[in-house]
């Protein structure tokens, strides 16, 4: 999951970290020998963050953007952390405008990754009070939707002395998290604990690193006797999504259990929650010396490993493995290649639930291929034993044209009376029943008025039974019994349709 660091380069970032130091205490200096300013603390904290990314998430892409009243791309997306560290000199400019920074973020991410790839956003700022209040009340509403789409999680690193100003900044950013639908699970605000110095800043950035860039190591199991330790990059996040009447939450299990195998043609390209790279974990131990560690690494290259086996088998057979990653939560393991020479073992985590791949049916109903009958038709979706009780052709009115089409169908049959008497009343009752079930009683009055209007517009060569039936239908549609769902309008018997009903 790519990471974007949005660094505040406003003039307030050039303030001294300790404006009134104790005369008897030494002044804390930056790496360049200057007195420590907020921008120096920000650069130092970002360096610590990049160290954790380089150590625990080697495949992570990171970009650096500075913002004030203008936005500037300092370092494009790269895996070379040294290149980003070399450009961490903050040149302070004028006022801070987070809206400008977010607009620059959107342009960069959409150009590099599109709108379908979620990112992790790290905002580093001094959290100016006036800026937060202005931002909270005047942020462009059009930014909410695209930011909500591309930002999987947002963390704010506030480099400011503890006090009321920090509380105001925290309130403003928490309001932003709620508007973006992130909540406390994917939106976090971090501030220094105690005095503002290198040590407290380092502690704050370690909190952010632990939240986003810790290694995720678990066990990959296949059957009862085959298992190995694996690392998943980037670390998967817990699932949390607010639905209409509840909040769905899932925690990833420490064990990835393979349940079976499917053809990639059957899986196709389902919507996924996140994608990850699976790497085998070396057998090194912390209590071994360097010589013993090297011997263990050499042994790893000689011992069989499930990851190697799955990678080769899935690639050769063009299949994927269905894996359970948590309670009622599944994913797929498959071999993926961006070039002809390099390929990787990948994990795609689906949305929680048994119906996350609709064309497969319920995942809990999948069984062994040996139970299938020999047939050329696809076994998917897996059919349920439950038979639906609703009609196979329900009335659906999504657009105005649907209602107009059903009304015209009734009138076409009316103009062919008495030959189409049965068809006329069948379509009329179908229309009436749908209107009553939906509480759309105005439609009944509208159809009655249409019937009366059609009586005066009928051509002379039409059967007199047409006008009689339309007048009769208009009267019934205005009666009280017509509001009952079980009531059906029966044809009126006349001399013209006798024996045709």
- For the stretch 159-176, pLDDT in tens is 988 778 888 888 888 888
How high is the mean pLDDT of the chain? 81
pLDDT higher than 50, residue 96: yes
**Higher pLDDT among residues 321 and 95, named by residue:** 321
**pLDDT tens digit sequence for 422-440:** 888 998 998 998 889 888 8
Which residues face 333 on adjacent strands? 321, 347
**pLDDT tens digit sequence for 341-351:** 677 889 999 98
List of residues 6+ apart from 312 with CB closer than 8 A: 335
- Give the chain's largest Cα–Cα span: 116
pLDDT higher than 50, residue 292: no
**pLDDT tens digit sequence for 31-69:** 555 677 888 899 999 999 999 888 888 778 899 999 988
pLDDT higher than 50, residue 285: no
The domain segmentation of the chain, as residue ranges, is 3-212, 216-371, 400-483
**pLDDT tens digit sequence for 14-32:** 888 765 455 554 545 555 5
pLDDT of residue 303: 72
List of residues 6+ apart from 340 with CB closer than 8 A: none
**pLDDT tens digit sequence for 314-328:** 888 889 999 999 988
Q: What's the CA gap between 31 and 47, in Å, rounded?
A: 12
Lowest mean per-residue pLDDT among 169-173, 185-189, 290-294, 459-463? 290-294
Please tell me the pTM assigned to this model: 0.59
pLDDT higher than 50, residue 287: no
Identify the CATH class of 216-371. Answer: mainly beta
Looking at the chain, the whole-number percentage of residues with pLDDT higher than 90 is 16
Q: Among 148, 60, 61, 69, which residue's Cα sits nearest to residue 101?
A: 69
**Higher pLDDT among residues 381 and 306, named by residue:** 306
Lowest mean per-residue pLDDT among 19-33, 174-188, 228-242? 19-33
* Residue ranges of E strands in 327-470: 329-337, 343-350
Residue 2 and residue 120 in contact, taking contact as beta carbons nearer than 8 Å: yes
Q: How confident is the model at residue 296 (pLDDT cuts 50, 70, 90)?
A: very low
Per-residue DSSP letters for 61-127?
A: -EEEEEESSSEEEEEEEES-HHHHHTT------S---HHHHHHHHHHHHHHHT-SSS-EEEEEEE--
- Per DSSP bridges, beta strands 216-222 and 255-263 are parallel
The pair of structure tokens assigned to 274 is 């996140």
**Higher pLDDT among residues 181 and 383, named by residue:** 181
The CATH number assigned to the domain with range 3-212 reads 3.40.50.410
Q: Among 340, 447, 338, 322, which residue's Cα sits nearest to residue 382?
A: 322
Q: What's the CA gap between 423 and 431, in Å, rounded?
A: 12
The pair of structure tokens assigned to 255 is 């064990």
Q: How confident is the model at residue 156 (pLDDT cuts 50, 70, 90)?
A: very high
pLDDT of residue 388: 59
């Amino acid at each position: 999951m790519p990471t974007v660091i949005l660094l505040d380069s406003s003039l307030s970032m050039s303030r001294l970290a300790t404006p009134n130091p104790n005369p008897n205490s030494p002044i804390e200096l930056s790496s360049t020998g200057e007195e420590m300013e907020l921008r120096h603390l920000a650069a130092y904290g970002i360096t610590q963050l990049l160290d954790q990314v380089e150590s625990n998430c080697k495949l992570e892409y990171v970009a650096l953007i500075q913002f004030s009243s203008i936005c500037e791309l300092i370092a494009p997306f790269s895996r070379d952390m040294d290149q980003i560290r070399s450009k961490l000199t903050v040149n302070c400019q004028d006022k801070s405008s987070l809206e400008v920074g977010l607009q620059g973020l959107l342009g960069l991410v959409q150009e590099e990754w599109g709108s379908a790839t979620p990112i992790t956003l790290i905002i580093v700022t001094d959290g100016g009070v006036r800026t937060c209040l202005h931002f909270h009340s005047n942020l462009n509403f059009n930014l909410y939707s695209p930011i909500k789409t591309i930002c999987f999680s947002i963390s704010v690193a506030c480099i400011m002395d503890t006090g009321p100003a920090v509380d105001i900044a925290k309130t403003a950013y928490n309001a932003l998290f709620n508007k973006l639908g992130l909540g406390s699970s994917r939106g976090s605000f971090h501030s220094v604990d105690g005095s503002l110095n290198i040590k407290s800043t380092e502690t704050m950035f370690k909190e952010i690193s632990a939240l986003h860039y810790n290694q995720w190591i678990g066990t990959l199991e296949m059957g009862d006797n085959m298992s190995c330790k694996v690392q998943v990059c980037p670390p998967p996040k817990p699932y949390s999504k607010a639905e209409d009447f509840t909040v769905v939450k899932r925690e990833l299990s420490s064990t990835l259990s393979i349940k079976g195998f499917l053809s990639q043609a059957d899986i196709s390209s389902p919507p996924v929650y996140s994608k990850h790279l699976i790497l085998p974990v070396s057998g090194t131990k912390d209590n071994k010396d360097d010589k013993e560690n090297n011997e263990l690494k050499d042994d790893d290259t000689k011992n069989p490993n499930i990851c190697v086996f799955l990678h080769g088998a899935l690639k050769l057979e063009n299949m994927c493995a269905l894996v359970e990653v948590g309670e009622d939560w599944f994913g797929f393991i498959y071999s993926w290649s961006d070039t002809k020479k390099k390929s990787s073992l990948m994990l795609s985590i689906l949305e929680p639930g048994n119906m996350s791949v609709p064309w497969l049916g319920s995942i809990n109903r999948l069984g062994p291929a040996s139970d299938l009958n020999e047939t050329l038709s696809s076994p998917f979706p897996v059919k349920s034993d439950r038979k639906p009780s609703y009609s196979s052709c329900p009335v659906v009115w999504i657009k105005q044209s649907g209602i107009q089409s059903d009304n015209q169908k009734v009138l076409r049959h009316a103009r062919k009376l008495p030959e189409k008497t049965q068809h006329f009343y069948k379509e009329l009752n179908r229309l009436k029943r749908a209107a009553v079930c939906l509480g759309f009683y105005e439609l009944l009055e509208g159809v009655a008025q249409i019937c009366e209007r059609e009586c005066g517009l009928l051509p002379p060569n039409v059967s007199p039974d047409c006008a009689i039936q339309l007048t009769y239908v208009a009267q019934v549609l205005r009666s009280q019994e017509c509001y009952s769902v079980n009531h059906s309008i029966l044809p009126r018997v006349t001399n013209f349709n006798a024996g045709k009903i």
